[in-house]
Amino acid sequence: MNRGLSPGGYVGAGLLLVFIGAALLGPWLAPYSPTAQDLDHILAGPSALHWLGTDENGADLLSELLHGARLALLISVSVVLSSALIGVTIGMTAGYFRGWVDEVIMRVVDVLLAFPGILLNIAVVATVARPGVGVLIFALVLNGWVGYARVARGQVLSLRELEYVHAARCVGAGPWRVMTRHLLPNLLSPILVQMTFGVGTVILIEASLSFLGLGPQLSYTWGALLDQGTTFLWHTQRVVFVPGLAIMVVVLGSNLLGDALRDHWDPRRVR
Amino acid sequence: MGDSLTLGLMSLGSFILRRLGSSAVAVLGVCVLVFSFLHMIPGDPVDAITGGEATPEQRRKIAECMHLNESLPAQFGMFLGSLADGSLGRQCPDPSGKPTVMQRIVQVFPYTVELAIGGLLVALLLAIPLGVLAAVRRGTWIDAVAAVVSLAGLSMPVMWMGPVLLDIFYVDLQIAPGPSFADEPFALLLPSIVIGTHLMAMLSRMTRSSLVDVLHEDYVRTARAKGLRPSVVVFKHGLRNALLPVITVVGIQFGAMLGGAIITEKVFARPGLGTLLIDGISERNYPIVQGTVLVIAVCYVTVNLLVDLSYGLADPRIRRA
């Protein structure tokens, strides 16, 4: 356990740190408002005025990108944290109590896994006329918890049979205490790995929904930028490349760090 | 011998029945979910159809055609009825001349199927050689290149890769057909690459780690010790056993691919289930949305069922469990 992370893990962590830094400092770093229109420079290339150029509304692409980073961070952190909290609670309950509780929960999980997750996200977002960020987060958490619940349940199913858990129960620890004090700490590493991968997944799904025109009704989410960029692909490729690259950097970072953390905590995987 | 065969067939039968049962429950659950979401939508579906400009008489007719005056359970019953008669619902206000939802789905279904198969082929054809090479040459530069390729594939957003490929191969090189030419030969190539890349990345990683595990097994060492050629050891003894988890991932990820089809179809302006769904949503055409989601879910469940069955057939330990 004293080994450090693999080099890939540090690269991943670095990429995520750049993303978080851009998201937190974005509004101060951004030279313009993401919605300000410079009508003299529509779809203009990079210049001293606009480092990354402008989009078809004359908005500064760098400013849009930085404000978009803030949204992406807000959405991914909220979705991942809520999903993990709900999923771990549900999964631990199912695994600890077994019986009909487990049966009911697993049936619900089966239904949610019975169709592509993005369909449920689309269905929820489409039911709202003008979805905001809150609706999007709700839609993503609605099936986002399932993965965490499965991991937590699987772990608890094997952990609950171990001697130290029996011992805790023998000295009179109740279910709540056993779960929070004795089981939860042993769940944390696989859940953290899942959360790290989750950041990338959420950003991809948000971008997909925005690309389909179903995301939050803001012009500067990364997916919305990509969508606008595609419309003007024949005119300039820049508006597509920039947000796409931003998405890729974050997803790559989360995959690299996730892989490294998994290897770090699971000695069997080191080969 | 005869007895054990009968026993085996019986356990296979009950395995299939059990899986069919849980698939049916899942599909019914999807029906309930989709139905309830569509009925939670604020706003009047009649307004969505008429754009708000209709006489009370017209509105009454549309509401009647859509059974909006009935209770929710009765409406759900009628939805199930439209499943039973195979129409999946009608297009109000004037259903007689228009195709049913089912007919519209049947029309575009082949496009999505060919896209999914194309993507699957791209994924398998690239992933398995890549994974095998990486496993056999573990720790060399080949392994590193394979790792980079699969990481890039995992991280590349579909809606980015599509436009980029179009830009290179259609706009600049002019060797690939552009978007909205779904019927041209080779029109399937770029969309298949776009939709298959993510799965390719997952499968090559899976193949690699699974094969690395298998190559450490005792029987593989025995095969080597017998003096078998390395290729026979890797492909016959190793890969055959390593592929089981890969098949499972194909099944699980098939759904993600159907999701990816929605985006890929939009990028390439292809007809298909995804395009139908998105058009249905933007027109607020709920029978279409309901029907498309259901068909996608049924496809997904069916593929998973087939994967489970093939898994059970391939590995007797699973059907007894």
Q: How far is CA B289 from the centre of its chain?
A: 17
Contacts 24+ apart (CB under 8 A), B47-56: B48/B283, B48/B284, B48/B285, B49/B92, B49/B93, B49/B284
* End-to-end CA, chain A: 15
Mutation target for B interface from A65, A107, A108, A119: give the one with most B CBs within 10 A.
Answer: A119
Residue A54 dihedral angles phi and psi, to the nearest 5°: -125, 165
Query: Is B157–A248 a contact, with Cβ atoms under 8 angstroms apart?
Result: yes
Residue B251 dihedral angles phi and psi, to the nearest 5°: -65, -50
A264 band by pLDDT with thresholds 50, 70 and 90: confident
Residues of A in contact with B139 (CB under 8 A): none
| Identity of residue B245 | P
Over 90: is that where the pLDDT of B297 sits?
no
The Cα-based distances of A55 to A225, A236, B30, B230 in angstroms read 9, 10, 40, 56
Residues of A in contact with B267 (CB under 8 A): 230
A2-25 average pLDDT score? 85
Over 90: is that where the pLDDT of A224 sits?
no
B172-192 average pLDDT score? 76
**pLDDT tens digits, residue range B3-47?**
666 666 667 777 778 778 877 787 788 778 777 777 766 556 666
B170-178 average pLDDT score? 76
Over 50: is that where the pLDDT of A225 sits?
yes
* End-to-end CA, chain B: 21
Strand partners, A258: none
* A115 in contact with B, Cβ within 8 Å: yes
> Residue A61: which of A74, A71, A47 has the closest Cα?
A47
User: Vertex B293, ends B307 and B312: CA angle to 5°?
Assistant: 10
Six-digit token string for A79? 């979705």
* A251 in contact with B, Cβ within 8 Å: yes
Six-digit token string for A136? 């999007």
**3-state DSSP helix/strand/coil % of chain A, to nearest 5:** 75, 0, 25
pLDDT at A145: 92
Residues of B in contact with A107 (CB under 8 A): 25, 29
pLDDT at A271: 45
B226-255 average pLDDT score? 79
B113 and B271 Cβ atoms separated by less than 8 Å: no
Q: What is the DSSP string of B50-77?
A: HTT---HHHHHHHHHHTTTTS-HHHHHH
A159 band by pLDDT with thresholds 50, 70 and 90: confident
Percentage of chain B lying above the pLDDT 70 cut: 85
CA distance A135 to chain B (A): 13
Exposure string for B91-120, b = 16+ CB within 10 A, e = fewer: bbbeeeeeebbbebbeebbebbebbbebbb
* A229 in contact with B, Cβ within 8 Å: yes
Over 50: is that where the pLDDT of A248 sits?
yes
* A247 in contact with B, Cβ within 8 Å: yes
B131 and B146 Cβ atoms separated by less than 8 Å: yes
Residues of A in contact with B25 (CB under 8 A): 107, 110-111
Exposure string for A227-250, b = 16+ CB within 10 A, e = fewer: bbbbebbeebbbbbbbbbebbbbb
Query: Is A129–B42 a contact, with Cβ atoms under 8 angstroms apart?
Result: yes
A3 band by pLDDT with thresholds 50, 70 and 90: low
Residue of B nearest to A113 (CA): B26
Residue B159 burial by Cβ neighbours in a 10 Å radius (0-12, 13-18, 19+)? buried
